[in-house]
Every structure is written in C-alpha cells, then in structure tokens.
Amino acid sequence: MMSDWIEGTKPKYIEARYSCYLNWDLEELGIDWDEIEDWDLCRADLKITFKDGTEKVFENWHGVDVDYKHNFEEVLILDEDWSQVEGLNWLKNY
C-alpha cells in the first residue's frame, strides 16, 4: 500500500535528469593538451591545472540549450534526505 512508508522514506521530491553537451575548444582557448597536468569539471566550468602549476577556469554557460524532448535520462523519486525511494525510480533504456 502506497501510504505505508517507513519513517523518512516517503517521497518528497521528483527530480528529472536531462543530458546536454558542453564543449571547450582547446585550440580556440589557446591551450596545448601537452601542457595540461590535470583538469576538472564543475557544472559548466572547466578548471585546468597546467604543468607549470597555474590554474585557469573556463566558463561555458552560453548556448546551454537542453532538448527536453529527446535528452531525457531518468526520473528520481527522493525522500526527505534526498535518497532514492526504492522501486519508484525510472531510467531511460537505450
């Protein structure tokens, strides 16, 4: 029965995930791959650590258009602690 929830597990949020692609043109940014020590992504920011120890962050917030019809990936049903509620989540099958 849907109303018999264990304490704290009752669904509180419905979250949908869509995919979109962001890209950074290294040549356009004046970056030589051989000079990169490490890189990291956080949202639409690419952080590059160069071999000389310097770091640069390259934002890519422009042109972020999500195709809500074709790029749907999953729906998560989450409880009050943002944990997935077992048996109610949906993942797109490719």
Instruction: Tell me the per-residue pLDDT of 14-26, one tens digit each, with 9 for 90 and over.
Output: 888 888 778 889 9
Distance CA 47, CA 53 (A): 12
What is the distance, to the nearest Å, from the Cα of residue 52 to the centroid of all Cα atoms in its chain? 29
Residue that the structure tokens 């934002």 belong to? 59
Q: Give per-residue pLDDT as tens, 31-82.
A: 999 999 999 988 788 999 999 999 999 988 776 677 777 778 888 888 888 8
Would you state the pLDDT for residue 94? 56
Which helix (H) or strand (E) segment holds residue 12: the answer is none
Residue that the structure tokens 């040549």 belong to? 27
Question: Within 10 A of 84 (CB to CB), how many other CB atoms are there?
Answer: 14
Q: Global pTM?
A: 0.58
Distance CA 94, CA 75 (A): 15
